[in-house]
Structure 1
Amino acid sequence: MTSATRERDHTEGTGAGGVYILGGAQTDFARNWAREGLGIDAMMAEALHQGLEATGLEASEIETAHIGNFTGELFCGQGQLGGIFASLHPDLSGVPTSRHEAACASGSMAVLSAMAEIEAGRYDLACVLGVEYMRNVPGQTAAEHLGAAAWHGREWTDARYLWPAAFSDLIDAYSEKYGEVDYAHLGEIARINYENGRRNPLSQTRNWSFTPESFTEHDEANPVIEGRVRRNDCGQVTDGAATVFLASAKRARAYAEKRGLKLSDLARIEGWGHRTAPMLLSDKLREGRNTRYVLPQVQKTIAECFGRAGVGDVFALDAIETHDCFAMTEYAAIDSFGITAPGESWKAIEEGVIAADGRLPVNPSGGLIGLGHPVGATGVRMMLDGYRQVTGRAGACQVEGARRVGLLNIGGSTTTIAAFVVGAAI
C-alpha cells in the first residue's frame, strides 16, 4: 500500500453514526482515595455503579466491557483490571473484558475498541470504564511513573520532571517555527481552565485560590517547573474514574422507548480519528519541519475525524474538550483544530474565542488543568462531558444550545492521538 493510498483510506469511509451514548458517571476528582484507605477497585466500583444508576441500566445488561488504564501496575501494583471489573457485581462474571493502554489516550482507545465491537455487530451494549490511581505516592515518584509514556532512557533523561520538560520543548518548537510564544497567552489558557473548573462540582481544583500573578511569569506565585513551563500551566495528578455506556442504534432505540425518551434525548458519536506518531518528540518535530504544522499528525487526526463526521468547519462545533496536560498542549490544539491559521493560536486567546462565553468555548469542564487528569480516565471523561453538553446535562458547565462537541485526547508527546465529534442524536 502506498503512502497516498494509506492517507486516502484514513479519510474515506463511514463515520460512527451507529454508536450512541446512553450516559455515564465520573468520580469526584478532588478525592484522594489512598487517604481514605480505598483502592483502585473501589474507584472502579463507584464509577460503574453511579453510571448504572444515572442511566437506569442493570449490570446484567452489559454485554462487553473495555477498561482504559495507563499505570495500574506502577502506582498500585495491580494489573488484570478486567478481572476486577468482573468482580464488581455478580452479574458481571463472564462478561468479556479488555484493558487498553496508550498513556493519556488509554480511555479513548477503550472507547474506540467498544465502538468497533458495536459496529461489527458483536454486541449492542458496551461499558467503557477509564481509571487511574496516582495520589498514593510522592510527587517525584509519580513523575517517574508517568515517564513511562516517553521512550525510556532516550528522552529527557536529565529532567527531574519529564513531561514539563517535554512540553517546554514544544514551546521552543512553536517559537522557532512561528515566532516567540508569549507566556501571557499560556497563562490565559490556564486561567480560563481553572475558572471553568470552579463551576464543575467534580473538579479537583474547584476550591483552589489564585491571585492575578498566578498566571504570569511571577517566580513566587507561578514558579518554573522545567524550562519554560510553570506550575499553573500543568495538568493535575489526579485519582479518578469515569464510565460511559455505548449502544448500537437498535439498543439505543429500545433504551429510549422503555424510558419514554426520544432518540434525540441521547448522544451519538458522529466521527472519530486515530493516529500514532513516532515515539520520539524529535521525530515528530522532524515530520512537521516542511509542513504548515509543528505536529502534523495531530492536525491530520482532527481532519480525519471531521471528515467522518461531515464537519466542514470547526465553527460548526459548539464546544471543544481538548487535551491540556499543559497550557502549551491546548495552545497547539487551537490551530490544529482550525480555530486559527497555523501559528496564530494567540489570536483566539486574545479575542476571547475560547472563553466560556466565547464563540467556541474550549474545556468548559475545566479540562485537565482545571478539572483534573486521571490518565486512563481522561478520554472516557471527555466522552461523558461531550454527552452531557449535547444533551443539556452539563449543569453549571453547560454551553448554551450545544448540539455538537469536538474531543481531542493525546497520549505521550502526541504519540497516540484520538479525536471524536459527539452530537445530539436525531
Structure 2
Amino acid sequence: MSAGTVHVLGGVQTDFARRWGRESGRPLASMLESAVQDCLDETGVPARQVGTVHVGNFAGERFAGQSHLGALACSLYPEWASLPASRHEAACASGSMAALAAMAEIEAGRYETALVVGVELMRNVPGSTAAEYLGCAASVPDELNADVLPWPSLFDAIAQETERRYGLDHAHLGRIAELNRSNAVRNPWAQTRDWVSSPGEFSADDVANPTVVGRTRKSDCGRITDGASAVLLAGPRFAARWARRHPRRLLSTVRGWGHRTAPLSLADKLTLSRDSEYMFPNMRAAIVDAYTRAGIAGPGDVDVIETHDCFTITEYVALDHFGLTKPGRAWEAVEDDRIGFNGSIPVNPSGGLIGAGHPVGATGVRILLDAHRQVTDTAGEYQVPRARTAATLNVGGSCSTAASFVVGTADEHTR
C-alpha cells in the first residue's frame, strides 16, 4: 500500500424511507448517532481509534434549528470529548466536501483514520417549507420566485438549455426515472423500494405524471428525504493492520478525485459555457481530474457509475460529461440501455437520488459508500457483477459544486 493512499474500510446508511421526525425529539442528533455507531460496528473499529470526524450537512440550522455539528458528533462518546471535528456545507455536495477534507488530512499524515458522516433532516416540515429552505442554495434573491419551486424551476431551465443546444426528448428523461426506480427495488435502504408504479408514470401522461414546472414532470424530481450515511477512511498503515484482522473483508481505495466549483447562478454558468462543448465545464473537469488521478483513460475503464440525479436532467447531462457519449448525445446511452442494470456500464444501481432518496447532506457520502460496496462485492441484490472500478459524481446547487471520485478494489491496486 503506497504512502498517501486513502482506503474505505466500510460504511452504512440509514433507511432512507424512515421519517425520523416522527420518532424522536432530536431527530437530527438521532440520525447522526445511529449512522456513526453502526459504521463503527460494521467496520469493527472502536471509537477511540477514530482520529478525526468530518460532518456533511446542508441546512441543519433551518430544518432542525441546529448548527455546529462537529461538536454534536463529539458528544457521542467520552473518547471524542476533545476530538478534532468539523462540519462542511456545499449544498447537495456537502457530504463530498466532508470526504475530501477527511482524505486530505489522511494524505497529509495528520491522522490514520477519519470518520465521514453526512446527515440531513428534511421531512419534519411541510413540502412548501422544505422547498423554501432548500432554495437558499440558489442565487438569492435573483433565482427565487414566489410563484414556482426554486429547484424544479432551475433544473427545468437546464432541460430547456439542453434542448436549445442539442435537442432533448422527454422520453429519455422518463426512461432514466424508470431505470432508477426499478433499481431501487433491489436496495433495502432505498426510499422508494416498496413503491408501486402506475401505468404512464414515466411518460408524458398529464394525469399519471403531471407537470411540475415547464417540461419537468413529477417523475423527473428527486425525493425529500431524512437520512444519514457514514464511511470510515484510513491511511495505508491502519488499513494494512485492519485487513490482517479482517482477512475475509475487502477494503476499497479512493484512486482518484476531482473537485471544481463554478459561479453560483445558473445564468452565469450558462454564459461561461456558451462556447464550450460541455454545458458545465467545471463538472467535466472534476470528472476528468478524477480519471487522471486514478490513472484511467475514461469510462471504458469503469465498471459502474453512481451519479447525482436530483432531477432526471441532472443524470442525463452527467452521461456525456462522464464521457459515455460525445457532448450533447447522452440520449444514445439511454436508448441502447448501456446504463441499465445489465448494461455495459450500469448507472445508479442503488436507485440514485430519484429511487434511493436524497437527504442532501448525506448524499455525497452515500454515493461514495455505494461505490465502495460495488467494488468490494457487498452491494447485495443491487451488486453489479465483477465490478472493480466505480466512478461517482455529486453536485451542489445548479451544478456549481462538482465532486467526483474513482474508487477501486484495494487488493488489485494498492498491495
| Partner amino acid, structure 2, of 1:289 | R
Please name the residue that 1:267 is paired with.
252
| Partner amino acid, structure 2, of 1:186 | L
SS where residue 201 of structure 2 aligns?
Answer: helix
Q: Deviations over 1:67-105 (max 9, x none)?
A: 000000000100011111111122221111010000000
Please name the residue that 1:419 is paired with.
404
Please name the residue that 1:352 is paired with.
337
Structure 1 vs Structure 2: percent identity of aligned residues?
A: 51
- The TM-score normalised by the length of structure 1 is 0.94
Please name the residue that 1:374 is paired with.
359
| Partner amino acid, structure 1, of 2:333 | A
Please name the residue that 1:215 is paired with.
202
Please name the residue that 2:173 is paired with.
186
Structure 1 unmatched ranges of 5 or more: 1-14
Which shifted more, 406-415 or 253-262?
253-262
Please name the residue that 1:410 is paired with.
395
| Distance in 2 of aligned mates of 1:108 and 1:155 | 25
SS where residue 293 of structure 1 aligns?
Answer: coil
* 2:242 aligns with one of 234, 245, 255: 255
| Partner amino acid, structure 2, of 1:66 | H
* 2:150 aligns with one of 135, 144, 162: 162
**What aligned pairs does 1:191-210 form with structure 2 within 5 A after superposition?**
191-210=178-197
Matching of residue 234 in structure 1 with residue 187 in structure 2: no
Structure 2 unmatched ranges of 5 or more: none
Please name the residue that 2:135 is paired with.
147
SS where residue 235 of structure 1 aligns?
Answer: coil
SS where residue 228 of structure 2 aligns?
Answer: strand
Matched residues, number: 409
In the TM superposition, residue 261 of structure 1 has moved relative to its aligned partner by: 4.7
Please name the residue that 1:337 is paired with.
322
* 2:68 aligns with one of 61, 70, 80: 80
Q: Is the 8 A contact 2:122 2:130 kept in 1?
A: yes
- The TM-score normalised by the length of structure 2 is 0.97
| Partner amino acid, structure 2, of 1:281 | L
SS where residue 233 of structure 2 aligns?
Answer: strand
Query: Taking structure 1 as reference, are residues 343 and 17 closer, same or farther at Cα in structure 2, changes over 3 Å only?
Result: farther
* 1:298 aligns with one of 283, 300, 304: 283
| Partner amino acid, structure 1, of 2:158 | L
Please name the residue that 2:6 is paired with.
19
Q: Is the 8 A contact 1:131 1:376 kept in 2?
A: yes
Please name the residue that 1:42 is paired with.
30
Please name the residue that 2:48 is paired with.
60
Q: Is the 8 A contact 2:106 2:235 kept in 1?
A: yes
Q: Is the 8 A contact 1:159 1:226 kept in 2?
A: no
Please name the residue that 1:114 is paired with.
102
In the TM superposition, residue 260 of structure 1 has moved relative to its aligned partner by: 3.0
SS where residue 20 of structure 2 aligns?
Answer: coil
Which shifted more, 368-377 or 153-162?
153-162
SS where residue 34 of structure 1 aligns?
Answer: helix
In the TM superposition, residue 228 of structure 1 has moved relative to its aligned partner by: 1.2
Please name the residue that 2:18 is paired with.
31
Structure 1 runs of 4+ aligned residues shifted over 4 Å read none
| Two-structure CA RMSD over aligned residues (Å) | 1.2
Please name the residue that 2:293 is paired with.
308
In the TM superposition, residue 423 of structure 1 has moved relative to its aligned partner by: 0.3
Please name the residue that 1:124 is paired with.
112
| Distance in 1 of aligned mates of 2:283 and 2:252 | 25
| Distance in 2 of aligned mates of 1:251 and 1:286 | 47
Please name the residue that 2:82 is paired with.
94
| Distance in 2 of aligned mates of 1:311 and 1:226 | 40
In the TM superposition, residue 344 of structure 1 has moved relative to its aligned partner by: 0.5
| Distance in 1 of aligned mates of 2:277 and 2:97 | 28
Q: Is the 8 A contact 2:3 2:236 kept in 1?
A: no
Q: Deviations over 1:138-182 (max 9, x none)?
A: 000000000011011111424421100001000111111112x10
In the TM superposition, residue 311 of structure 1 has moved relative to its aligned partner by: 1.3
Q: Is the 8 A contact 1:16 1:271 kept in 2?
A: no
Please name the residue that 1:225 is paired with.
212
Q: Is the 8 A contact 2:10 2:43 kept in 1?
A: yes
| Distance in 2 of aligned mates of 1:384 and 1:86 | 22
| Distance in 1 of aligned mates of 2:199 and 2:208 | 9
| Partner amino acid, structure 2, of 1:372 | G
SS where residue 200 of structure 2 aligns?
Answer: helix
In the TM superposition, residue 37 of structure 1 has moved relative to its aligned partner by: 2.7
